[in-house]
Amino acid sequence: MQRLQQLAILVPTLTWNDPMHRLLRCIALTFLLAPWLCSAQIPDDVTLESVPGLSGFSNALSLKNAGDGSNRLFIVQQDGIIRVVAADGTLLSTPFLDLGNQVNFGGERGLLDIEFHPEFSINGRFFLHYSAGLNRPVGIDSGDTIVAEFSLTANPNVANNTPDRIILTVRQDFGNHNGGGMNFGPDGYLYIGLGDGGSGNDPCNRSQTLDPSQIVTGGSCESDESVALLGKMLRIDVDNATPVGPNNLCAANNDGTANYSVPETNPFFGQASRCGEVFLYGIRNPWRSSFDRLTGDLWIGDVGQDHHEEINLLKWPLTPGDDLGWKLCEGTTERGVSVNPCGVPGGILPNSIIPVIEYPTGGSFGNSVTGGYLYRGPVDSLYGRYIFGDAFPGNIAIATESNGSWAFDVFGSPSGSVRAFGEDEQGNVYVVFDDNIRVFTGLPFLFRDSFETLN
């Protein structure tokens, strides 16, 4: 990782962030997007650098660190392969893991994310979220969601290709809107983002249905009780199993057992007409989410449909049972009715959570939001800013908070579809494109005052 750390103190080349380029972008965007878009300026010292050796990937879509002090990076490919970047920046030739035909790869399906146990350095446990392929557990269909636990071999850079345990499975109505992101929260529980089951307009009404006995069935709408988990953010305890007996776990086995349990502080714990795994609901397709490593705040990028792409901010400690609005709301307004507000007294769903950042779907910034990270790395001018992007056409933005409101400025579109963002152990933020990885660089804290004096 020494080579990656050195990138953080490079003198900027002022490509996308040249003051004149920034001015021209803002002038153009003023006519295309909301007038507040350009109020948060990109710091002059910030650049996005290619990382030597980290290119030539096939459908890369996630980057994580193990939090074990090794300074390794793990790059997830949608086709089921995970690669390891050693501490010196070398991409190892042997894959960390290859799911092979265990994963259904295509469209929005595939290996969607990896998440390491908080005590990975001790127990070597990690978790994968993927779409079930040809080689799958009995009783589930191809394309269904699997969250499974894996472990290391004797070589810390190579994992076993078969799971130690299937944690949970969720039936999928359609092939899209699988969600994807997983994160361990500050409370040690695993948060899993699931999309609304797919197609368009949430035809099976998964996001707002809380009672599993009232799920919509027929046609492509599946009848398995687990579909009541779609359109939700789950919170589960992977360190404790659920024994035989009655419970309200909607992804449990027929006898009530499960390779997980749920915290008693989950909003619907023990309620017969609810799913105990659900923590938040009203979500369309939470492709990427993250916890602020300093405050614990949860950021969720929720892909929009016709009108709004949105970023939701939920402050720590989180409020269990929050409704993020879909499919009645899209962004800050009623779906399809831009004059009816959401999340305000007298409006539709007055108690729903409204996004802190939104932009028009299909506008010049893009049409499929990619959630990112609240920056806590070494670049001083980025500290406390939220970095996110859009998959198509691949724009990247940096948002700044002022008096409780967030505004963003467009950084640029340097390398194609923005699939994800990731952090290393030092807090540097990386951008994951289809075939390459880049890292944000700039002046570290010690040099910031000198830089401003010179400019």
Instruction: Please give the DSSP secondary-structure letter assigned to residue 249.
Output: -
Percent of the chain surpassing pLDDT 70: 89
Strands 165-170 and 182-184: unpaired
The Cα 107–Cα 104 span in angstroms is 10
| Helix (H/G/I), strand (E/B), else coil: 39 | helix
Which residue did the predictor score with more confidence, 449 or 96?
96
Taking the mean position of all CA atoms in its chain, how far away is CA 54? 21
* pTM of the model as a whole: 0.91
Contact 214, 237 (CB under 8 A): no
Name the strands in the sheet holding 298-302, side by side, starting at the edge strand that comes first in the sequence: 288-291, 298-302, 308-314, 357-360
Instruction: Please give the DSSP secondary-structure letter assigned to residue 139.
Output: T
Angle at 201 (CA atoms; ends 196, 202), nearest 5 degrees: 30
Q: Is a pLDDT exceeding 50 seen at residue 14?
A: no
Structure tokens that stand for 4 in this block: 């990656």
Name the strands in the sheet holding 333-334, side by side, starting at the edge strand that comes first in the sequence: 329-330, 333-334, 337-341
Residue 74 is inside which H or E element, if any? strand 73-77
Percent of the chain surpassing pLDDT 90: 87
Q: What are phi and psi of 26, to 5 degrees?
A: -65, -40
Structure tokens that stand for 276 in this block: 């105990």
Whole-Å CA distances, 361 to 305, 391, 413: 7, 12, 17
Query: Confidence band (pLDDT; 50, 70, 90) for 16?
Result: very low
N-term to C-term CA, the chain: 31
The Cα 404–Cα 397 span in angstroms is 18
Taking the mean position of all CA atoms in its chain, how far away is CA 423? 12
Contact 140, 206 (CB under 8 A): no
**pLDDT tens, residue by residue, 19-47:** 444 444 444 433 334 433 444 589 999 99
The Cα 113–Cα 401 span in angstroms is 29
pLDDT value of position 415 = 87
**Cis peptide before 52, with omega less than 30 degrees from 0?**
no
Structure tokens that stand for 304 in this block: 């929009």
Rg of the chain, C-alpha, whole Å:
21
pLDDT value of position 414 = 87
The predicted model gives 202-229 an average pLDDT of 98
How many CB atoms are closer than 10 A to CB 282? 25
Contact 311, 301 (CB under 8 A): yes
Structure tokens that stand for 423 in this block: 């952090």
Q: Is a pLDDT exceeding 80 seen at residue 328?
A: yes
**pLDDT tens, residue by residue, 296-310:** 999 999 999 999 999
Q: Which residue has the tokens 């997980």?
A: 260
pLDDT value of position 31 = 39
Structure tokens that stand for 55 in this block: 């290119």
Helices (H) and strands (E) in the chain, counts: 4, 27
Identity at 422, one-letter amino acid code: G
pLDDT value of position 447 = 60
pLDDT value of position 137 = 95
